[in-house]
Chain A
Amino acid sequence: MSFGSPTPVEVAVQGTNMAANRVYAQTIRGELAKIPELRDLRLARPLDYPTLDITIRSRPRGPIRSHSGGRRALHSRGHLLQPFHGTELLARSGERNGFQIQVEIPQDRIQPADDVRNIPVMKDGRSRPLLGDVASVANGTAPGMVERYNMQRVVSYTANVHGEPLGRLAEKVREALKRAGESPRGMTVGLRQIPVFEETFRGLRTGLLLSMAAIFPLLAANFQSFRLSALSCSRRQLLSERQSANAGSPRRRSRGRRESPRLRKAGANRR
């Protein structure tokens, strides 16, 4: 189920200071980028998501300055959200049935920053003042989503794997983390998928060994020989069984019927 990560490799930097997390995560990214088998290396959550920074001025400019504009500007925060979140109305049909109607401006119709500046912000439905009169609107960036774990902020990089098994690549990822240097105080670096993967394989390996340990005495009792029991558990035996199984397949069987030249000669001599 991929354990919450969309890709096989995820490196998470966790700490209280988001800016410091980001700086250290970028160092790690530089080292991970040197691994040729990694693909699609990227931030799991965008940190520079494009935003519009709207700063409401306490003393607005324009015609409303003359009559307590600062106080009126406070209305703008709520009215600014209306075009995006919509106006909710509760319509009633008869006495019992009620349903909600939401009216909002489609987001694709508000494209440039000027569209935002032209949003009317007075609560009595008047067309002016506009948001541009009471606030400054500028382009900015902000984290698209801040992930938290144990009350600490997390910056994580994800990557796909190409041409190498994950188990072998895990060592390279760990070496890259070592090259990135020791993490600053209060910051921890963790791999998300790889430890679970390794733990699963450790469990499978232990299970296999335990099952062999359980089967061995049974085989020894059946053959009445420890040697035969060990031979039947050995890799060589498994390989020879596989070869005999292949020889039993129709393609191999037809080949197996042919006699070798040496045997043919021996047969002719006997005759």
Chain B
Amino acid sequence: MKVALKPTAPIRGEELFEQLRTELLKALPSCQFTFEAGDIVSRL
């Protein structure tokens, strides 16, 4: 899933990833989530 934050988003970067890791692990404990850069390399 590719997500683009709005420029006015109050939380960004590592802080957001860390919060999402915690929340997603609680909501879906059997799933694994990773955060990767949405750059051209990962799309090749």
Same complex origin of A and B: yes
- List residues of A whose CB falls within 8 A of some B CB: 1-2, 4, 6-7, 39-40, 42, 158, 160, 162-163
Which residue of chain B lies nearest to A160 when distances are taken between CB atoms in the complex?
A: B35
7 further A-B contacts with Cβ under 8 Å, apart from A6-B37, A7-B36, A42-B34, are A2-B41, A4-B41, A6-B42, A7-B34, A40-B21, A162-B17, A163-B14
Are A2 and B37 in touch, CB under 8 angstroms? Answer: yes
**Pairs A-B, 7 closest by C-beta atoms:** A40-B34, A6-B36, A6-B42, A2-B41, A1-B41, A42-B34, A42-B32
Would A40 and B41 count as touching, CB distance under 8 A? no
Q: How many residues from B make CB contacts under 8 Å with A?
A: 13
Least distance between B43 CB and chain A CB atoms (Å): 10
Report the nearest A residue to B21, measured CB to CB: A39
Q: Which residues of B1-44 have CB atoms within 8 Å of chain A's CB atoms?
A: 14, 17-18, 21, 32-37, 39, 41-42
30 contacts between A and B (CB under 8 A): A1-B39, A1-B41, A2-B37, A2-B39, A2-B41, A4-B41, A6-B36, A6-B37, A6-B41, A6-B42, A7-B34, A7-B36, A39-B17, A39-B18, A39-B21, A39-B35, A40-B21, A40-B33, A40-B34, A40-B35, A42-B32, A42-B34, A158-B34, A160-B17, A160-B34, A160-B35, A162-B14, A162-B17, A162-B18, A163-B14
